[in-house]
Amino acid sequence: LKANNARSLWHPMTAPADSLSTPPTIVTGASGVRIRDIDGHEVVDAVGGLWNVNLGYSCQPVKDAIASQLEALPYYSIFRGTSNDKVIELAEDLRDFFAPDGLERAFFTSGGSDSVETALRLARQYHKIRGEAGRVKYLSLKKGYHGTHTGGASVNGNANFRTAYEPLLPGCHHIPAPYTYRNPFNETDPARLAQLCLQALEDEIAFQGAGTIAAFIMEPILGAGGVIPPHPSFMPGVEAICRKNGILLIADEVITAFGRTGAWTGSRLWGVKPDFACTAKAITNGYFPFGAVMISGAVAEVFERDATGKAAIGHGYTYSGHPVGAAAAIACLAETRRLNVTDNAAARGAELFDGLKALQARHAVIGDVRGGHGLMCALELVADRATKAPADKATTARVQETAYRAGAMVRVSGPNIILSPPLVLTSADVQTILTALDAGFAAL
């Protein structure tokens, strides 16, 4: 397996230069919040798969739901005028779950990138139906991550996911993120920074012309860009600016929906009602590739009331509304509620955040600690605290490798160590992660 791993499997996001020491870990088993590798080493998965395994790896109700759905109906399409019973049941569940966010209708996809693409495309179509065909541009945040399809990559705010694939969609413009540690305004006060970023958004809208912009897309807490929680005033400010200018607001909740932030959704954390919420990942907890775009009643109505034929939807996927995925998602939603993972995410997240701040007090390499909203945290490593020069790859790799040997799988993204463990972890698991990281920093 080890030889074939290097010979035939391409690890597309691990360029050879990135794998400084150990070859990729080969995971062969998992249970609870732990994964086991080919050498029998078992660690707490502080990455939670890839921000998606919220309920851990041993969720029996989900396994049972998948097994019985495979027997009852393994597949049927929801296009060409057909539907399937499981997907209707799930749409009703999601409608209840997202009711406080003002989102009523579900458009099903096969994952996060598909969900983003769906929202971006439907946003343009919405404006066309309403006779505003000139609204085709998209605005988003620098450091935002929105998947790897061409639309998502175009609104992506990180060069390393864009430049190799250019030219991307024209008309995509990026606003500074409210990233307190580094920003073009040199502003360290989060409330004032939020105001400056909102002003930048207003300026960009004025510069582009409000009537040319279809949608603004943002993650309620930026994830892959390094866990950047905005000040509480920021997303409501974005919502108000979008409303004022007729721009649709797309919340990319691929990471934040279903409890990760300590609230049921990221939009609810900030008290925002978006027009679209893109979901995937934890909707099936890693048991099935699946996603859903939740759509507000007002937007859905524009499609449904249209008599011109412009609302015919030429968008969707073979596996949209897959009944096995739907069965998995129904069971995951039920477990998410039954276990009240949101409260556990908030409580364990606070312990983790405090522990990370204590590590920062002892290890100079930790320039910034971000989190404070559930189980989404990051440590930004620096070569020098005064200049904030980012730590090099050898440093982050060393911390990751040592932490792994000491009992926790963590994720590296640029100079950041990112933590997004399952929401069902215990205080003891939190301590395991902190102790392993401490060993990682001590090894530098």
Which residues of this protein are in contact with ligand PMP, per CB under 6 A?
111-113, 116, 145-147, 219, 223-224, 252, 254-255, 280
Residues in the chain: 444
Q: Are residues 214 and 137 in contact, defined by beta-carbon separation less than 8 angstroms? A: yes
- How many CA atoms, within 13 angstroms, populate the side-chain half-sphere of residue 408? 29
Shortest gap between Cβ of 288 and ligand PMP (angstroms)?
A: 12
Residues 6+ apart with CB under 8 A from 243: none
| Amino acid, res. 173 | H
Count CB neighbours of 114 within 10 A.
27
Nearer to ligand PMP, 254 or 382 (CB): 254
Shortest gap between Cβ of 214 and ligand PMP (angstroms)?
A: 18
Nearer to ligand PMP, 283 or 430 (CB): 283
Nearer to ligand PMP, 12 or 131 (CB): 12
Shortest gap between Cβ of 249 and ligand PMP (angstroms)?
A: 15
d(CA 20, CA 353): 28
Shortest gap between Cβ of 218 and ligand PMP (angstroms)?
A: 9
Nearer to ligand PMP, 156 or 395 (CB): 156
Nearer to ligand PMP, 239 or 252 (CB): 252
Shortest gap between Cβ of 69 and ligand PMP (angstroms)?
A: 21
Q: 226 — alpha (psi -120 to 50), left (phi > 0) or beta?
A: left
Q: Are residues 258 and 54 in contact, defined by beta-carbon separation less than 8 angstroms? A: yes
Nearer to ligand PMP, 65 or 224 (CB): 224
* Residues forming beta bridges with residue 277, ordered by sequence position: 251, 294
Eight-class DSSP state of 18: G
63 sits in which H/E element: helix 60-72
Nearer to ligand PMP, 93 or 252 (CB): 252
Which 3 state secondary structure label does DSSP give 377? Answer: strand
Shortest gap between Cβ of 434 and ligand PMP (angstroms)?
A: 24
Q: Is the dihedral of CA 221, 222, 227, 232 positive or negative?
A: negative
Shortest gap between Cβ of 270 and ligand PMP (angstroms)?
A: 15
| Amino acid, res. 411 | R
Shortest gap between Cβ of 116 and ligand PMP (angstroms)?
A: 5
Nearer to ligand PMP, 113 or 336 (CB): 113
Helix axes 85-98 and 323-338, enclosed angle (nearest 10): 40
Eight-class DSSP state of 100: G
Nearer to ligand PMP, 120 or 280 (CB): 280
Q: Are residues 109 and 291 in contact, defined by beta-carbon separation less than 8 angstroms? A: yes
140 sits in which H/E element: strand 137-141
Q: Which residue is nearest to ligand PMP (CB)?
A: 112
Nearer to ligand PMP, 228 or 280 (CB): 280
Which 3 state secondary structure label does DSSP give 43? Answer: strand
Shortest gap between Cβ of 426 and ligand PMP (angstroms)?
A: 25
Of the candidates 280, 275, 197, the residue with the CA atom closest to the CA atom of residue 233: 197
Shortest gap between Cβ of 82 and ligand PMP (angstroms)?
A: 26
Omega within 30 of 0 (cis) for the link into 167: yes
- Residue 258's alpha-carbon distances to 143, 267, 405, in angstroms, are 23, 11, 31
Shortest gap between Cβ of 356 and ligand PMP (angstroms)?
A: 21
Nearer to ligand PMP, 145 or 179 (CB): 145
Compute CA 208 distance to the chain's CA centroid, rounded to the nearest angstrom: 28
